[in-house]
């Protein structure tokens, strides 16, 4: 096993634990998801064998290519990137969760595919809390309505909300984008709508800003470069 991967993972775990303790949270309440975009199967396998069993893919083609290489090691795979409707057929059989549901049409397609497979698929509603045009996700104003629409679909289980933090060097701007997601999550849970009562997860925060996300209530942080090093250009 690469001591480099092991060392980076240990550092990430310590960062998350420290961030949680600073705000009086239990570090065990924050899961680390490894964003494995551009990584090889061998490198990801090393991370899984080191105990990092929660993984996330951004690209359908990379997910399909890597799946056979990880078939013999226990892990939990999420899809965390933009999901085109025509790629959903390939993605759904290989993941336990899709975190990037940004509209009802995609949710309905995922529901149909999960139903045809005789299973229930976990999902997050993705919200664009920063308002940046380059980011996917429901507008915050429509997030509750989308969550309510997802909650009634019989083959989906709404776990919570996901966002990509503001791309800003101003920590206050980044913090505001995460705190907004937390408030939206509270609104969803309090709505009383079917299928929303257990949607308590907050998937937010990445390598550069995970401490800010944990302070704002993240239950899952998505880490790539901090665990694997800089991605190839």
**Is 214 strand, coil or helix?**
helix
CB neighbours of residue 116 within 10 Å: 11
pLDDT number for residue 2? 59
- Calpha distance 186→132 (Å, rounded): 23
How buried is 64 (Cβ within 10 angstroms: 0-12 exposed, 13-18 middle, 19+ buried)?
middle
Each residue of 78-92: pLDDT tens digit?
999 999 989 999 999
Which residues in the chain show pLDDT less than 70?
Answer: 1-2, 232-233
Return the pLDDT at 1.
Answer: 47
33, 221 in Cβ contact below 8 A? yes
pLDDT for position 87: 95
Q: Are strands 76-79 and 97-101 parallel, antiparallel or unpaired?
A: parallel
pTM: 0.96
Given CA atoms 90, 51, 179, 133 in this order, what sign does their dihedral have? negative
Structure tokens at 176: 């505001």
**How far is 193 from 52, CA to CA, in rounded Å?**
34
pLDDT for the residue numbered 22: 98
How high is the pLDDT of residue 232?
Answer: 61
pLDDT at 3: 75
């Amino acid at each position: 096993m690469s001591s480099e991967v092991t060392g980076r993972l240990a550092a990430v775990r310590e960062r998350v634990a420290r961030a949680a303790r600073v705000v009086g949270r239990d570090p065990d309440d924050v899961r680390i998801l490894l964003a494995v975009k551009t990584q090889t199967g061998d490198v990801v396998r090393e991370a899984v064998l080191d105990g990092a069993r929660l993984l996330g893919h951004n690209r359908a083609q990379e997910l399909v290519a890597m799946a056979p290489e990880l078939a013999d090691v226990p892990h939990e795979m999420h899809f965390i990137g933009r999901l085109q409707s025509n790629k959903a057929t390939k993605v759904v059989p290989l993941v336990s969760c899709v975190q990037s549901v940004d509209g009802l049409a995609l949710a309905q397609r995922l529901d149909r595919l999960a139903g045809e497979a005789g299973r229930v698929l976990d999902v997050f509603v993705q919200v664009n809390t920063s308002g940046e045009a380059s980011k996917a996700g429901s507008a915050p104003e429509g997030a509750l309505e989308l969550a309510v629409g997802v909650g009634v679909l019989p083959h989906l289980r709404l776990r919570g909300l996901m966002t990509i933090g503001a791309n800003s060097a101003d920590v206050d701007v980044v913090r505001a984008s995460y705190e907004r997601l937390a408030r939206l999550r509270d609104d969803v849970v309090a709505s009383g709508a079917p299928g929303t009562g257990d949607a308590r997860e907050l998937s937010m925060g990445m390598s550069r800003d995970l401490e800010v996300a944990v302070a704002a209530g993240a239950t899952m942080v998505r880490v790539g470069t901090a665990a694997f090093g800089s991605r190839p250009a």
